[in-house]
Amino acid sequence: MSNDIFNATLIARHDLTPDLSVVCICGDDGVVPDFQPGQFVTLGLPRPVETIPALVEGRAPNGRLVRRAYSIASSPKERRYLELYVVLVEDGKLTPRLWNVEQGGRLYMDPRIRGEFTLGDVPSDSHIVLVATGTGVAPFISMVRTYRDCNRWRRCTLVHGVREIEQLGYREEMEAIAREDQSFVYIPVVSGKTVAEQTWTGRRGRVQSLFNEAAFRELTSEPLVPEDTHVFLCGNPAMIVDVQTILESRGFITQTKSQPGNLHFERYW
């Protein structure tokens, strides 16, 4: 990599809360890399100037970037930009700096898209259950945007758990898709107890509570069985461990590099 570290532009940004944002990034060549829904891109910004005496604006020694991977929320059909769903980590190394990048600001974007958290090996006659907490919903948004109306599944259920209502960043879009497509079910779950959350009339608690057989069937009109169901988990590691334990006790098999399965997960930290 040359000393010219910036190769992409933040072309749009929508702050949902002070610490949650939807950002759109485009490379300098104007070409969105090909990718599969569920994959991620790596962004980078220079380390703090006080740690790099040689840093000048727009330039830094090779390897002196703070890099982090972010799942892509946009569909590969969107050729203008990559959309990311990002939360500010106050003591993080990258997001506090990313929050200072305004529209039109410059940053580094790895031109290579990576990741194996995709629907590639899932049969099209499956019930696909996508379970996320927080910004872990991003890869699933890409999947829904891409595969809706494509007969990619027999049924798809998206469960999104958050603490505050404002964190349901794609709620209106997903509810609209669910109204139009009877094969898609969207279940937002709110766990917070502030005044705002007390007005919430939807599902409450943690997403783990949905995985008893009665609750799942009531919400989806489907049994939760391993024979024709693939479950994808993304977000809080505690959620992933809890749901994995529940589902493995019911016969689901966690997919690994050496073992095919119907339970797939990607941790965000």
pLDDT digits (tens, 9 = 90+) for 101-136: 999 999 999 999 999 999 999 999 999 999 999 999
Q: Tell me, what's the pLDDT at 49?
A: 59
Q: Tell me, what's the pLDDT at 52?
A: 42
Confidence of residue 195 (pLDDT cuts 50, 70, 90): low
Please say if the pLDDT value at position 98 is more than 90: yes
Average pLDDT in the 220-235 region? 95
Q: Tell me, what's the pLDDT at 243?
A: 97
CATH topology (fold) of 8-109: Elongation Factor Tu (Ef-tu); domain 3 (2.40.30)
Residue-averaged pLDDT of the chain: 91
Please say if the pLDDT value at position 3 is more than 60: no
Sign of CA dihedral 237, 112, 174, 231: negative
- The CA distance from 266 to 33, in Å, is 22
Give phi and psi for 145, each to the nearest 5.
Answer: -60, -35
pTM comes to 0.92
Q: Tell me, what's the pLDDT at 246?
A: 96
- Tens of pLDDT, residue by residue over 130-169, are 999 999 999 999 999 999 999 999 999 999 999 999 999 9
Confidence of residue 197 (pLDDT cuts 50, 70, 90): confident
Neighbouring residues of 219: CB distance < 8 A, sequence distance ≥ 6: 157, 185, 187, 203, 210
- Tens of pLDDT, residue by residue over 17-61, are 999 999 999 999 888 899 999 999 999 999 875 444 444 455 554
CATH number of 127-267: 3.40.50.80
Asked whether this chain's domains 8-109 and 127-267 adopt the same fold, the reply is no
Q: Where are the domains of the chain?
A: 8-109, 127-267
